[in-house]
A and B are shown apart, each in its own frame.
Chain A
């Protein structure tokens, strides 16, 4: 049977897609929301570290599976290898209703004003595609607010002196510091820095009909057993479904966006739960499949007017792949600092984000999420023995004494870090897979080094008797914070969409996910992606004339 034509298709039920689907559905548009994964629940995997989204060695509890999905990675010497979703270099986020927002650490950052004007602030960086966004912080501010109140954020307005202007406070009070945060807060203050509680997409009190967090050690990388973590799966997606205007089709892999002779999107081709090829037509198509898969889907959608893929006539789709270069320092304390108050990360220091002499951008430092035992087995000072009695003694005596401060450094985008589609390797459905190539910009390790030095300095002040830096910024980026592959811009020659996420030259094709981000901020990206979801959704709704797109 043929699928009934609808007003809008949204591909991907993650951070951006869940929000757009809800915005359109409550405004009265009929929507089909496609998701390649299913609903994920805590009971399916409980606190099993080896399939958690932090250490996926035995598979991804939140998808995608190793059987049907794969990617190709181009090594630095030009050779290629096939990687599975459970392997690190696959660059996975998740594949389930809510995507990363089910298992994320839930840090809820607004970018800073300068994050939207990186080029005018810092000038041209050689070998980079660093640029300003076509919108500024104040364009997005009301949409950040909407995300904070509709999805739910705990935090303390005004506690971060570097915070961008906000019209409204957070809807929930902040989380109390855990033990390591208390120690680090004192040390940071002594050094003249300004620590503050990390804003979290997690209930500190009952909110949205869901209970308060009870501080599990296994939080980041896992679903919440009591539903205290706020994602799109337990907020906007249920609202969209309740509106009666949105149908969620899980376990459906969208293969291609169909474009007609005039270059307009007419719908999508997809494989349903039983692997049957199907067609869904719509007036509008919104792609929210996350930076790697969004680029792949566009590149796999070839037509007469777009022989190199939808929106790709200027070869910008898939370019500027970014993530975050994690960097920081570790230290050992004489006394236990681990108090088993999950998820561990409660304190942030934003002094190193912008306005530091000689540093382009920067990033936030946070005390770290609890490492589960296997992950901890890899956390060693340089030169430490990895096995045998020394390994065991370290594991036994230092687990509760290790203190870590690290965070995401804002990467400098470059044109060659990119997603293309592989000409040979196909997935389970025969769709060409994403191919990842290039590497981070050579500036990144310099900025990371600066942040790691600051982190080490604070750890020392906090009393760590042995400290070492972990400096990030090399290799290819992407991963859980993947962004940038269909950047928005005013000039169609050097961007893929306009400032509303509308693909240049294809009026009824939109992007609403991390792919839009011109630069990725020195913070975890989910709240910004959510704000972009509201921003794009709002534009579509305002330009919808009741039966077709204006």
Chain B
């Protein structure tokens, strides 16, 4: 038993190509694979400001958190440690600045907070193990992937981002027609 576990960990660390981090279990009461329920709330709020809902769906509707959670036990296992520590640093920073959880802040305070983080200006005391700017960039990038990537990875629910970008999906080859203003204008000239 013990050796097979050790072997498993060895392979895992090989697969990650970095220092092994043993994830604290998401916990039985969490509906998520990697995140605790509270962590997921932070990520939902964070991604929700990266790609906010307006007349079109945003990250929350697209289920970006599900994408990130899913990748963290798959191809992104190597980022587990950074997420766990980074989310906790976000929470500690928000508590210190606002005495509230990040996800409880209003929109302006959330985005203001994120701008500080992007510029590396959140209180340094909580960011000794994780670099706040790198973590910001990581979640930014993963949110974009979850919003714009194929739904088969758990995000971009119902191709909401394609719809927003006026990209037909499914792509019915030879059947999709586009009207370009230029072409129409040319026709009108005739």
Question: Which of A's residues lie within 8 Å of B, judged by CB?
Answer: 46-50, 57-59, 66-67, 70, 82-84, 86, 179, 183, 214-218, 335-340, 372-374, 376-378, 386-389, 391-392, 395-396, 399-400, 428
Cα–Cα distance between A340 and B182 once the two chains are bound (Å): 15
Cα–Cα distance between A535 and B63 once the two chains are bound (Å): 53
Residue of A nearest to B47 (CB): A387
Q: Does B162 contact A (CB under 8 A)?
A: yes
Q: Does B144 contact A (CB under 8 A)?
A: yes
Q: How many whole Å from A232's CB to the nearest CB in chain B?
A: 26
Do A50 and B145 have beta carbons less than 8 Å apart?
A: yes
Cα–Cα distance between A279 and B162 once the two chains are bound (Å): 51
Residue of A nearest to B163 (CB): A396
Cα–Cα distance between A59 and B78 once the two chains are bound (Å): 13
Known A-B contacts A50-B145, A58-B75, A373-B162; A214 and B174 likewise in contact (beta carbons under 8 Å): yes
Cα–Cα distance between A86 and B16 once the two chains are bound (Å): 12
* A contact residues around B148 at 8 Å (CB): 49, 372-374, 376-377
Known A-B contacts A340-B178, A373-B165, A428-B14; A392 and B150 likewise in contact (beta carbons under 8 Å): no
Residue of A nearest to B56 (CB): A396
Residue of B nearest to A426 (CB): B14
* A contact residues around B144 at 8 Å (CB): 374, 377-378
Chain B, range 151-190, C-beta contacts under 8 Å to A: 152-153, 161-162, 164-168, 171, 173-174, 176, 178, 180-183
* B contact residues around A335 at 8 Å (CB): 180-182
What's the interface size class on B, roughly?
35 or more
* A contact residues around B51 at 8 Å (CB): 387, 391-392
Residue pairs across A and B with CB atoms within 8 Å: the count is 112
Supply 30 A–B pairs (Cβ within 8 Å), ascending by A: A46-B150, A49-B150, A57-B75, A58-B71, A58-B74, A66-B17, A70-B17, A83-B17, A84-B17, A217-B167, A335-B182, A336-B178, A336-B180, A336-B182, A337-B182, A340-B168, A340-B178, A372-B148, A373-B167, A374-B149, A376-B148, A386-B140, A387-B49, A388-B49, A389-B52, A392-B58, A395-B164, A395-B165, A396-B165, A399-B165
Do A47 and B150 have beta carbons less than 8 Å apart?
A: yes
Q: Does B50 contact A (CB under 8 A)?
A: yes
Do A82 and B165 have beta carbons less than 8 Å apart?
A: no
Cα–Cα distance between A320 and B18 once the two chains are bound (Å): 30
Question: Which of B's residues lie within 8 Å of A, judged by CB?
Answer: 14-15, 17-18, 49-52, 54, 56, 58, 71, 74-75, 111, 114, 140-141, 143-145, 148-150, 152-153, 161-162, 164-168, 171, 173-174, 176, 178, 180-183
